[in-house]
Structure 1
Amino acid sequence: MSTATTAGAKAHARAQESATPVTRPDPPEGVDPASVTWSEIVAGGGYAHAVLAPGTLLELTDLDGDACAGLLLYNALETHERLNVADTVKVQWQVYTAAGQILLSDQGRALATVVGDTSGRHDSFFGVSSRDRNERRYGDGSPQGPSPAGRELFKLAAAKHGLGPRDIPPALTFFQGVRIAADGTPEFLGSAGAGATLRLRADMPIVVLIANTAHPRDSREAYTCGRLGVVAWRPGSDVPTAEQGPEARRAYRNTSDYLRARGLS
């Protein structure tokens, strides 16, 4: 089909609707499809983004066993407030993501809470790959190339929300694990396998950026990253959080005070 004319370009563009059908992951068992607010499959080397309301549940699924979901969160009301990985692990005395962990902002507030995890293979140390690193490792790190870097994809996702490169902090990554040995040596654990899930609860209005790219510590020669399932929904009732320490209670109190002052709780 020629695109040399306006009519031809129009016909070609409209033909893509049937040529590339949209595929979405099924909602988790027991979730009313009508309550779903965001649903998509992010290809390896792809990115996604959305704004979620407080109380929304977000489930990420490693569909093939090779996903690596880099995650950044921002306060949707004031995007200068964003995920602080260092405070998230330092304040809670825990560097390994698990159910009950709060994802803290740089203002000491809870952006989101991990409320479920069947993977146990995550990383708070190494973040996502850079373009320079991927060019040296794979020969290319551009967002449109065969081995996109996580930071380059974050730049694209951030731009959709008026954010620039200087607004991209270190990220958490999920589904490719790293553990630190007693002597300080990092050990790359890889994936827990296809079907592993991580579930988050939004604790305030948040901008979510996801970059699904090969982990920086993945030793495989080829750039390897599988599909990521993303589903967000509004639950019918509050989702309880396991008993937590004083650091968590302070973060939730800070968040509640912030939302109440703005008439949001």
Structure 2
Amino acid sequence: MRSATDTTHGARDHARAQAAPVDRPAAPAGVPAEDVVWAETVPGGNYTHKVLARGTSLRLADPLGDACAHLLLYVADRPWERLNVADTTKVQWNAYLGPGSLLLSDQGRVLASITEDGSGRHDALCGTSTLARNSDRYGAGAPESASPAGRELLLLAAAKNGLDRRDLAPSLSLFKGVRVSAEGALEYTGSAGPGTAVTLRAEQPLTVLIANVPHPLDPRPEYQCGPLELTAWRGRPTAPGDPLWEATPEGHRAFLNTAEFCAARGL
């Protein structure tokens, strides 16, 4: 039986039929449209990536309360400096990230800062889902399946930025929370509900990889994940005098390290 794509004309018509109006989130209040450099809606079970300039603000929003953004950050053009989730929690003496938290590299520098957080449900402990886990739980975990694993999608995003599997460090999860009980067990706390958002500020030029997939501790038997809205706009990095710069001794040192490094490179 012939398919619609068996001929060149059929393949062309099929490809053109995929074109549809793109669902792009609106710019946040007070942000001029001309300053927006990225606006995208990522459906559940999908991924995205972007290179952002230093000082760019990135807003991640969970409109339906069922997104789960698994995030990796790399210094653009220097991917050996990347998000280190372990150092992010260890240096700041806190495994629960929120407004004012810094996302750190293993070089003692700030990659991004959390300037706003309306969710409060995040996870710096578990990482994302894997092919083996999703295959066991949902019956499949490959990127082209109905239940793609976060790590497999992040690998695709990485490949489009010249990175490979060895570059995938543990990721940070946003919009689905995990707490540690008094007995040391990991407790899944889920979403804060629809309409929440988190804003990050890029403190260095960044390559951003995001997979929007169910959290590995999500107890629901079905593969469920809602849309994730992303909007980024031009801005300036955190500077001396900003309350975030002086909020903690550890953060102050990380900002100094970052400023010195960027100044030496003319950034």
TM-score for both structures, normalised by structure 1: 0.95
- Are residues 1:9 and 2:11 paired? yes
Cα deviation for residue 238 of structure 1 reads 6.2
Q: Number of matched residues?
A: 262
Q: Which amino acid aligns with 1:3?
A: T
Counterpart check, 1:210 vs 2:210: yes
Give the 3-state SS of the residue equivalent to 1:244 in structure 2: coil
Aligned to 1:232: 232
The answer for the alignment partner of 1:262 in structure 2 is 265
The alpha-carbon deviation at position 15 of structure 1 amounts to 3.0
- Counterpart in 2 of 1:36? 36
Whole-Å separation in 1 of the counterparts to 2:236 and 2:185: 44
- Show structure 1 runs of 5+ residues with no match: none
> Are residues 1:118 and 2:129 paired?
no
Deviations, residues 70-108 of structure 1 (Å, cap 9, x unaligned)? 000000031111000000000010110111111001111
Kept in 2, the 8 Å contact 1:48–1:211? The answer is yes
Relative to 1, partners in 2 of residues 1:207 and 1:226: Cα closer, same or farther, differing over 3 Å?
A: same
**What is the deviation of 1:237?**
8.9
Deviation at 1:235, TM superposition (A): 3.3
2:168 is the alignment partner of 1:180 = no
Letter matched to residue 104 of structure 2: L
Q: Distance between the aligned counterparts of 1:61 and 1:117, measured in 2? A: 10
Q: Which residue of structure 2 lines up, in the alignment, with residue 22 of structure 1?
A: 22
Identity across matched positions, percent: 54
RMSD of the alignment, in Å? 1.5
State whether structure 2 residue 252 is matched by structure 1 residue 249. Answer: yes
Structure 2 unaligned blocks of 5 or more? none
For residue 78 of structure 2, give the secondary structure of its aligned residue in structure 1: coil
Aligned to 1:79, what secondary structure does the other structure show? strand
One-letter code of the match for 2:96?
Answer: Y
Q: Which position in structure 2 is the counterpart of 1:153?
A: 153
- Whichever residue aligns with residue 259 of structure 1, its letter is C
Render the CA deviation track for 1:152-195: whole Å, top value 9, x for unaligned: 00000000100000000001000000111111111111000111
- Deviation at 1:111? 0.4
Q: Distance in 1 between matches of 2:38 and 2:208?
A: 11
